[in-house]
Structure 1
Amino acid sequence: RVWDVVAWTKPRALPMYKSLMHEGRPLVELDELWEAVNATYNSAAHREVDMTFLDELPQAEMRDFPPISMQELRDAVANVSSRSAPGSDHLRWPYV
């Protein structure tokens, strides 16, 4: 058969870059990649966290914070563009 000798009908060779590995296996399918990422980054999701190290930190003294009025908030966002990007200099309307 003609297609038996044509290269594009044969199984593809793996690309010439190093593939991601998980538990000694290369990750070649998207489902395998998802399982590896999930197992790696969510492995401690249900473990209890020991927060006792916080007891050793010195307590900062309480400071008064003056209240913010609605008018101050309106004045602060009055000139904000609805197309500006969020960040230290910009505030988008969906977040207000």
Structure 2
Amino acid sequence: MSNSHMLAEMALMKRGASHAPLHANTPSEKFSDLFIDALKNTNAIQSQASDLTRRFVSGESGISAADVMRMNHKSEISMEATKQVRNKLLEQYKEILNTQL
């Protein structure tokens, strides 16, 4: 994955964020749908990293160690972000369960 590809992804994410709803009371998508999409994206990134690593180790030409390291780092970041969201969800769920009515 080249730097230009990563910059293009970041630009795409920026454009998507600029179209986010301005009011918190008018969500355009359900949180569960967004979370499922994020999980699928994390899984896809991990699969890509694993595949790229396997291809590099088998000696396929055109794949550099830097590409493998970059993709594995992206995979680690994606997984860590997913874990953090999960942890916050569990915290909030526990707080709701402990709420006295």
Q: TM-score range by the shorter chain?
A: under 0.3
Q: Which has the higher contact order (CA 8 A, sep 6+)?
A: 2
The structure richer in strand per residue is 1
TM normalised by structure 2 equals 0.25
Query: Computing the radius of gyration over CA atoms, which structure comes out larger, 1 or 2?
Result: 1
TM normalised by structure 1 equals 0.26
